Structure 1
Amino acid sequence: MTRILPLTGGPTLADATTAFLNRRDLDADTLRSYRQTLTRLRAELGDGVLLSDLAAEQVAAVFTTAWSEAAARTWNRHRSALRSFTTWAAARWSTTDLAVLIERRRENADATKVIDRHLIEALWQRQDLPLRDKTLFRLLYESAARSVEALGLDVADVVPEAKRGRVRRKGGATEWILWQSGTARLLPRLLTGRTSGPVFLTDRRPGPARTPAAVDLCPLTGRARLSYERAEYLFKQTTKNVDPTGAGYTLHQLRHSRLTHLGEDGWSSSMLMALSGHRNLRSLGIYVQPSTEAVAAALADHDPGRRRH
């Protein structure tokens, strides 16, 4: 249970947000997202301001300054983080609804976020990719796992002969992620000589001032667990030349693309949920819509003009 400091007039913004972020029920991705939002609020409003003195107008002004030009999805993500914090705080102290003046923005679905199959296949054929990067990218695609789940794998979690690894899913459940022969051929080469520590490691040893926890260090090489931010950067750099926007694809798009491709191939929703770790059909639904390429191929197959030839 989070300990609330008995401060006169209630907690400061710094104390309240720190207690909120120290909760054990937040997974790594959610914690990272919440921290970005609340860190910006603290920077703009001041750590020492009492939570009870904050007004919704002040917070709305911060949102306008910080994220008015951001994409709707980014705006809504920060709004969701604020609403979660406000709801949590209201259960402990008498506070104003700090999110009441911040309206949710409409998000337009982007049907171009699925990576074409031929681009995925071309990625596996590239000879210039480091073994670690190719293994990670292929594992993420074949398993449809969340990036944080794959990056959290330790050598002891991997069962090579069964093509699976033990991960902590979103929400805290411990489950298996599964992969195919492509990943199975790469993993033994990546893990040569290693019997413990993280599967995916940084290129260099961390400096003395940045030594991570022992659980995130490889005892054989002294290198640290590869971070999500670094892995995301590497994938964007790898794919920026084939991404129409020039920005490079995200790791999440590997998961999205895998589920879309399997849905096009006839996989049932229950099978997709079992593979990906989704808990309900509603959250899975955005991944199983056929891509433009699949619809175009189906139309071509049923084109009367084509049959006449």
Structure 2
Amino acid sequence: MDAATRRSYGQTLRRLCRTLGEQLPLTSLTADAVTRVFVTTWGGAAAATWNRHRSAVRSFGAWAALDDPAVGLDRRTETRPRTRPLDSAQLDAVWDLPDLPLREKTLWRLLHESAAGVSAVLALNVEDLDLDDRRARAGDTWVAWRSGTARLLPRLLAGRTRGPVFLSDRRPGPARTPGPADLCPDTGRRRLSYERAEYLFKQATRALDPARDGYTLRRLKPRRRAR
């Protein structure tokens, strides 16, 4: 599992432990008890959230050689609505937000100018970047950007030559140290997670969103031009 999945699954199991009692013997864990926790805790959750928690419990059951503790939980059908890109006025409002950290400015511009997926951009390493040609190797393809990102990236890197491009704010604790691929050898900070990046964007844009939910990072993708 990657770091984000381990963290997500850990949150599910900690919630399950707190609800059922952390001293409950594993041999006393039943599918009925797990089902009650799910219905009470995540009964109204979106299908993707429900399915993620269900996967965490099923993976734990397989690892612990238990009868499937999620046998009473049906997988929910996920329907993802089409993401509507921000229009020019909305984008201008995002770019004009005051007191934005340099990391967020760079990430948001790069997502918009490249039209790349959030996971692909967050997975970039400094050594992948070709600043002169305004592009970076991302697996079997390239992520390319324009002048806005080109002005910000050198400032963000601040002389770093290795490790993740986008870093978390603080160093991880000893119990949460990621693998070498997700750790900056110069600063000791870990790669910025999708969950944290999404949360910060939603918080920053909450006042701009008529629904007051905040925008999602996928809405930074540029609109397709009509042919």
TM-score range, shorter chain: 0.7 to 0.9
Alpha-carbon distance in structure 2 between the residues aligned to 1:99 and 1:206: 35
One-letter identity of the residue aligned with 1:116: L
Q: Which residue of 211, 215, 221 corresponds with 1:249?
A: 215
Any runs of at least 4 consecutive aligned residues in structure 1 with deviations exceeding 4 A, and if so which? 106-109, 125-128, 205-215
Is the radius of gyration larger for structure 1 or structure 2? Answer: 1
Q: Aligned-pair distance for 1:135? A: 0.6
Structure with the greater relative contact order (CA < 8 A, sep ≥ 6): 1 or 2?
Answer: 2
Give the equivalent residue in structure 2 for 1:117.
87
From the superposition, tell whether residues 140 and 225 of structure 1 become closer, same or farther in structure 2 (CA, over 3 Å).
Answer: farther
Question: 3-state DSSP class of the match of 1:200?
Answer: coil
1:77-130 Cα offsets, whole Å, 9 max, x none, are 3223334444x44xx83x32322212334555545x424222235434556433
Question: 3-state DSSP class of the match of 1:161?
Answer: coil
Aligned positions of 1:36-185 closer than 5 A: 36-45=11-20, 46=22, 49-50=25-26, 53-86=28-61, 88-89=62-63, 93=65, 95-107=66-78, 109-111=80-82, 113-118=83-88, 119-124=90-95, 128-167=99-138, 174-181=139-146, 182-185=148-151
Would you tell me which structure has more helix in proportion to its own residues?
Answer: 1
Sequence identity (%): 45
Alpha-carbon distance in structure 1 between the residues aligned to 2:172 and 2:5: 28
Unaligned stretches of 5+ residues in structure 2: none
TM-score by length of structure 1 reads 0.58
One-letter identity of the residue aligned with 2:221: R
Q: Which residue of 258, 274, 279 corresponds with 2:221?
A: 258
Q: Aligned-pair distance for 1:243? A: 1.5
Calculate the aligned-residue CA RMSD, in Å: 3.5
Q: Aligned-pair distance for 1:216? A: 2.5
Unaligned stretches of 5+ residues in structure 1: 1-25, 168-173, 267-309
Contact 1:28 1:148 in 2 (8 A): no
Alpha-carbon distance in structure 2 between the residues aligned to 1:211 and 1:107: 31
Give the equivalent residue in structure 2 for 1:275.
none
Count of residue pairs brought into register by the alignment: 221
Alpha-carbon distance in structure 2 between the residues aligned to 1:265 and 1:106: 32
TM-score by length of structure 2 reads 0.74
1:239-277 Cα offsets, whole Å, 9 max, x none, are 1122122121233x24xx628x34x657xxxxxxxxxxx
From the superposition, tell whether residues 179 and 207 of structure 1 become closer, same or farther in structure 2 (CA, over 3 Å).
Answer: closer
Q: Aligned-pair distance for 1:57? A: 0.6
From the superposition, tell whether residues 72 and 136 of structure 1 become closer, same or farther in structure 2 (CA, over 3 Å).
Answer: same
Alpha-carbon distance in structure 2 between the residues aligned to 1:34 and 1:208: 18
Give the equivalent residue in structure 2 for 1:191.
157
Q: Which residue of 227, 231, 237 corresponds with 2:192?
A: 227
Question: 3-state DSSP class of the match of 1:162?
Answer: coil
